Amino acid sequence: MPGLKKNRKRPNTIAFHVSNEEKKAIETRINVSGLPKSEFYIGSCLEKKLDVIGGKFGSDRLSVQLENMNVFLRNAELIYEKNQKIIKDYTEEIGAITKRLNDLNEAVIEAQKENLEFKKVILESRYFNEELLKLMKENN
d(CA 69, CA 77): 12
Distance CA 86, CA 93 (A): 10
Per the CB < 8 A criterion, the answer to whether 65 and 72 are in contact is: no
pLDDT of residue 62: 76
In a domain, 55, yes or no: no
Tens digits of per-residue pLDDT, 108-131? 999 999 899 888 888 888 888 888
Q: Where are the alpha helices (DSSP H) in the chain?
A: 20-33, 37-47, 56-139
In a domain, 114, yes or no: yes
Residues 41 and 106 in one domain: no
> Is residue 5 included in any domain, yes or no?
no
Q: Is residue 51 part of a domain?
A: no
- The reply to whether 57 falls in a domain is no
Mean pLDDT of 3-13: 74
What predicted TM-score, i.e. pTM, was given to this entire model?
A: 0.38
What values do phi and psi take at 33, rounded to 5? Answer: -70, -30
Higher pLDDT, 10 or 56: 10
- Cα distance between residue 67 and residue 76, in whole Å: 14
- Say if residue 51's pLDDT is above 80: no
- Tell me, what's the pLDDT at 30? 81
- The whole-number pLDDT of residue 135 equals 84
pLDDT digits (tens, 9 = 90+) for 80-103: 999 999 999 999 999 999 999 999
Number of domains in the chain: 2
Q: Is residue 20 part of a domain?
A: yes
Q: CA 102 from chain center: how many Å?
A: 30
pLDDT score of 84: 95
Boundaries of domain holding 41 = 14-46
If asked whether residues 87 and 41 sit together in one domain, one would say no
